Structure 1
Amino acid sequence: MAHSRTARRRRWTAAIGLTGVAALALSACVQSNRGEESGSGKVGGTLTFGAAGAPKGFDPFYATDGETFRVSRQMYEGLVGFKPGTAEVEAALATKWEPSTDGRTWTFTLKENVKFHDGTPFNAEAVCFNFNRWFNQKGAGQSEAVSQYWLDNFGGFADTPDKPSLFKSCAAKDPKTAVVELTKATSQFPSVLGFPSFSMSSPEALKKYEADNVVQVGESITYPPYANEHPTGTGPFKFSKFDKANNVVEIVRNEDYHGTKAKLDKVVFRIIPDETARKQALKAGDIDGYDLPNAADWAGLKSDGFDVKVRPAFNVLYLGINQLNNPKLQDLRVRQALMYAINREQLVKSQLPEGATVASQFMPPLVDGYDDKLTPVKFDTERAKSLLAEAGASDLTLKFYWPTEVTRPYMPSPKDLYGAIAGDLEKAGIKLEPTSKPWNGGYLTDVDQGVPDLFMLGWTGDNGTPQNWIGTFFGRTDNRFNTGKSPWGKELADKLAAANAEPDEVKRSALYKELNKKIVEEYLPAVPISHSPPALVFKKEIQGVTPSPLTDERFGSATKG
């Protein structure tokens, strides 16, 4: 989950985040037992959830937005998943997995007697069909606007030799054994397969409903019937309808689910873009819950008898610095001045919920490779002015963008956060040309195209690997910060690639700690601001939903009443 995604556990060796293959098999048993325990509770009913926006579609491979992922997580499953309430990898459609000694070949043992929603079997051939489908995208399917998660995590496609892919091949050894070959070792495998984007879809449905027929004309992208009307996974809920006239998405219980069946009859996602309107709908009884209540409302919601579920702070808010347009921003002293100028401690106290902290680096403490010896630089307006003077930038004027029509876990009130940051920068003598645009109505597009000099963005992790954080931000030079304009941009990308490919866990962690230090002290492509614990809120009668640091809440275990 993500810059624009809600959007990324742990070990590369055979232990891979647990204690070995045997432990992975055991985790599958634990998962099953947990499902049986959650089986208690009232059966039936409808959970109506207030969604902040409409899903982009229902094919998670083409998704980058949290609203699509929220619905997809209920309908689809991947080979691996994440233990509820954590970023720890656990078994899902694969009951266990084992890497080769070089980390390039992974053998997955699959859960048996699993069927897709259309009744077709899930097996090793289906796994390989999905991998080959992703790898063989053509035309618009290869664009970053369409396949961002593949590009960020696997690289290129079958027909892009100039941009090699992490994926090499997939073979069905037998119906319950899939062997995936990679071109190189990576710290992210297999946890990356827990991302909604890499969930398993029915091969027959993908073919029948022309899943890969994506058409792009200019900036307009049209998706095929599979993504719009026929999503087909293996999850506890099935797609029912998307009523665009009434802004409602409906999913229903999968009666043939291979695990513990959902207790709810259905889940309805009612699209209510305004956070205040979502709160009013909850209080009026029109919805049963919603995501990202304003931190200022937590106490009031609790006193009104609602259940405010606080997630762990697994995100980062940063002030993005684009080095493309203004040459002065390529001077480290100018970027350091921006960091000294912002009173991050006051911003955290005044604008963010209890439990938020000032960020010293671009990942929270829960992520492997976090450098706990780093401390945030102290707010110092005079130091900022001095650095600007040294760099000959005392007359600095910058285009500062902030988003509207959005609430993010790391950015609960963009307008207020912008006001706090802008006020501090202006006190340091920096002139600002502010621009606000809707999040999905020009803001992200302008940021991606390098229009603003400064912008507010952030990231909610997809998993606990450091590559999912600083690797996503700075692993390519053609990023949102345009680090390719800096003499160190390629050096940083190369160092991140080397750390990601290091098979020794201890050495890899040390490399990432070193990089975290270099990024904030020597490179500073952006200013890390804060880590903020987001929440979601439900009526008391809704039980069985576990808040997730990955925003990976599953409603299959939920009950009502």
Structure 2
Amino acid sequence: MRIHWLIGAAALLLTTASGHAKTLVFCSETNPENFGPMLATTSTSDTAAARQIYNKLFEFETGTTTLLPALAESYELSADGRVYTLKLRKGVKFQTTRNFRPTRAFNADDVLFTFERQWKKDHPYYPVNGGNYSHFNALNLGNALESVEKVDDHTVRITIKEALSPFLTNLGMNFLSIHSAEYAAQLLKAGTPEKIDQEPVGTGPYMLVNYQRDVAVRYRANPDYWRPQPKISDLIFAITPDASVRLAKLKANDCQVIALPNPADIDAIRKDPALKVESQEGLSIGYVSFNTEKKPFDDRRVRQALNMAIDKKAVLDAVYLGAGKIATNPIPSIVWSYNTEVKDYPYDPARAKALLAEAGYPNGFETDIWALPVSRPYNPNGRRMAELFQSYWGAVGVKAKIVSYELAEYLRRGRAGEHQTYELGWGGDTGDPDNFLYEVLGCAAVKTGRNNARWCNAGYESLVVKARQTSDKAERTELYKQAQAVFKEEAPWITLAHPIIFVPMRKEVQNYKIDPLGAYVFDGVDMN
């Protein structure tokens, strides 16, 4: 797919058939991996596809983690907590694109396709585009589901093998964005099934017009959208990796909203009369993980020692520039069940050296530190962070070589476990503790590569699995608190920071709400 236009304020004054259009340009930090929510592993791809092009059965109210009906109007739950009967919304149209004209409205067949592609290995779409359904597999849904059945065109019955307290909120996650079974069948018949994740068709507020890697993604408002029409008729993501260039484009009005500003620029942006900044605490964490399948990181003492070797406050000041909170637990403090009694590892190089000697490394050892190649909300400057870790670890005798790759390659190699130590982070998808404690640190997530510490601890696993199986929130809270204590003792990560999300924009942008789940959402946004 190619695009041919100039990215500049004058060139973006587009016109619709009605003679009037509103165009908004969003300066994005990098390319999306793909336009397939089932395959996506980054918030960039979630923003580019799931939050613009698709809808889900249930969705989180923009700016909150409150779950609301969407393509499912309502549901009933059986007394044993295993059977969900969903009533689907009628009359919702799939998008008409240059390659697809739907002949029917959304129905139960589309729900079945969305589940079965990720679930059933004999499904014709299962292997398409690599078949790496990391969210579906990290949540162990393949084993949790007993059946997904079409009762009639507007009723679906989902039966799970045992009650799972986070199941309903999981239905609001981006990987369960509803796809058109009719479009999938058309592509399969044409011999081009791979296009389903490249030329997407959904029911969402915007349709993909075209995409040119390293340049831009262009969308147009969906004229058949089942909710009120978006105020912005033409939406453009200008791919701009450098934070200073993003800011320059914002000031020049070449972009009206930008991603991931340099925290050092926030004060100056706030003082600019043409600009404003929205901010809130993010539902995310930045961390460095240890590959516990590789020596010496299979030894808890080594992991604890390297935690104690890091001055987190100095890292927060240098990398986050104060725009964040030091992280103790693997979940943010705004998530219910956060364990306030867990204590962080102190900055104690002498104790770190003693632990290394106790583990058999009195003279230290050599390792790597993988540096995140792009700015993320949970890590604004991966290279700077790696340099600081290199220095701190060097002070206790551990020599670390900095390694990095282009983002897609970095993530692929990390999922494969090629690293020894690895910078990454996680942004919550639901606001439920399970979304952090099971999906990212559970044993099932080792197989998918989501758990890049490759840490599978029996005691921890029993706690988070038991928490998933009870609907009693007080009991779940206690189990999750115990799990956080086990995590801290075992130290598969160095927990670094829970960042503050900043979204700079032009003053004329109205009704923008920060998504605590990490995406950028433009449905409902207007321009003066």
Which one of 241, 253, 270 corresponds to residue 302 of structure 1?
Answer: 270
Distance 1:529 1:344 in 2: 7
Distance 1:340 1:301 in 2: 36
SS in 2 for 1:268: strand
Please say if 1:167 is aligned against 2:145: yes
Distance 2:492 2:372 in 1: 24
Q: CA deviation at 1:65?
A: 2.6
Q: Which runs of 5+ in 2 are unaligned?
A: 1-19, 97-101
| Deviation readout 1:437-492 (Å, 9 max, x if unpaired) | 33223x223323333322211111111122211212221154422335xxxx3443
Distance 2:321 2:78 in 1: 45
SS in 2 for 1:503: coil
Letter in 2 for 1:316: I
Please say if 1:59 is aligned against 2:36: yes
Which one of 320, 340, 354 corresponds to residue 372 of structure 1?
Answer: 340
Aligned to 1:234: 203
SS in 1 for 2:523: coil
- In structure 2, the CA distance between the partners of 1:59 and 1:331, relative to structure 1 (3 Å rule), is closer
Q: CA deviation at 1:137?
A: 4.5
Is the 2:138–2:440 contact (alpha carbons within 8 Å) kept by the matching residues of 1?
Answer: no
- In structure 2, the CA distance between the partners of 1:374 and 1:211, relative to structure 1 (3 Å rule), is farther
Which one of 93, 96, 102 corresponds to residue 74 of structure 2?
Answer: 96
Q: CA deviation at 1:226?
A: 2.2
Please say if 1:316 is aligned against 2:300: no
SS in 1 for 2:198: helix
Please say if 1:388 is aligned against 2:388: no
Please say if 1:516 is aligned against 2:488: no
Q: CA deviation at 1:252?
A: 0.9
Q: CA deviation at 1:200?
A: 1.0
Q: CA deviation at 1:56?
A: 2.4
Matches within 5 A, 1:253-268: 253-268=221-236
Is the 1:353–1:532 contact (alpha carbons within 8 Å) kept by the matching residues of 2?
Answer: no
Distance 1:291 1:449 in 2: 29
Please say if 1:148 is aligned against 2:134: yes
Which one of 103, 106, 126 corresponds to residue 110 of structure 2?
Answer: 126
- In structure 2, the CA distance between the partners of 1:463 and 1:142, relative to structure 1 (3 Å rule), is farther
Is the 1:400–1:433 contact (alpha carbons within 8 Å) kept by the matching residues of 2?
Answer: yes
Letter in 2 for 1:48: V
- In structure 2, the CA distance between the partners of 1:142 and 1:363, relative to structure 1 (3 Å rule), is farther
Is the 1:232–1:238 contact (alpha carbons within 8 Å) kept by the matching residues of 2?
Answer: yes
Letter in 2 for 1:374: V
Is the 1:398–1:454 contact (alpha carbons within 8 Å) kept by the matching residues of 2?
Answer: no
Is the 1:212–1:224 contact (alpha carbons within 8 Å) kept by the matching residues of 2?
Answer: no
SS in 1 for 2:286: strand
Distance 1:339 1:206 in 2: 48
Aligned to 1:29: none
Q: CA deviation at 1:140?
A: 6.7
Q: CA deviation at 1:402?
A: 2.9
SS in 2 for 1:432: strand
Distance 2:190 2:482 in 1: 41
Q: CA deviation at 1:334?
A: 1.6
Aligned to 1:289: 257
SS in 1 for 2:438: helix
TM-score when normalising by structure 1: 0.82
Please say if 1:483 is aligned against 2:455: yes
Distance 1:481 1:211 in 2: 41
Is the 2:371–2:402 contact (alpha carbons within 8 Å) kept by the matching residues of 1?
Answer: no
Q: CA deviation at 1:145?
A: 6.7
- In structure 2, the CA distance between the partners of 1:517 and 1:227, relative to structure 1 (3 Å rule), is same
SS in 2 for 1:415: helix
Aligned to 2:194: 224
Q: CA deviation at 1:390?
A: 2.1
Aligned to 1:529: 496
Q: CA deviation at 1:132?
A: 2.6
Aligned to 1:218: none
User: Which stretch of structure 1 is more off in the superposition, 57-66 or 142-151?
Assistant: 142-151
Could you list the runs of 4 or more consecutive aligned residues of structure 1 that deviate by over 6 angstroms after TM superposition? 142-145, 211-214
Distance 1:298 1:355 in 2: 10
Aligned to 1:161: none
Aligned to 2:178: 200
Is the 1:141–1:147 contact (alpha carbons within 8 Å) kept by the matching residues of 2?
Answer: no
| Deviation readout 1:373-428 (Å, 9 max, x if unpaired) | 22322211111122222222122223222335311111001112222222222222
Is the 2:230–2:524 contact (alpha carbons within 8 Å) kept by the matching residues of 1?
Answer: yes
Letter in 1 for 2:282: A
User: Which stretch of structure 1 is more off in the superposition, 525-534 or 117-126?
Assistant: 117-126
Q: CA deviation at 1:534?
A: 2.3
Distance 2:95 2:438 in 1: 35
Letter in 2 for 1:504: D
Distance 1:320 1:352 in 2: 18
SS in 1 for 2:171: helix
Letter in 2 for 1:125: D
TM-score when normalising by structure 2: 0.87
Distance 1:197 1:115 in 2: 20
Please say if 1:188 is aligned against 2:166: yes
Please say if 1:417 is aligned against 2:385: yes
Percent identity reads: 28
Distance 2:144 2:309 in 1: 41
Distance 1:503 1:45 in 2: 46
Q: CA deviation at 1:525?
A: 1.5
- In structure 2, the CA distance between the partners of 1:187 and 1:555, relative to structure 1 (3 Å rule), is same
- In structure 2, the CA distance between the partners of 1:429 and 1:541, relative to structure 1 (3 Å rule), is same
Aligned to 1:5: none
Distance 2:87 2:393 in 1: 55
Distance 1:325 1:208 in 2: 46
Which one of 86, 110, 114 corresponds to residue 108 of structure 1?
Answer: 86
Provide the alpha-carbon RMSD of the alignment: 2.4
Aligned to 1:334: 302
Distance 2:315 2:130 in 1: 33
- In structure 2, the CA distance between the partners of 1:454 and 1:177, relative to structure 1 (3 Å rule), is same
Distance 1:383 1:226 in 2: 54
| Deviation readout 1:60-97 (Å, 9 max, x if unpaired) | 22222322211221111101111221222122112222
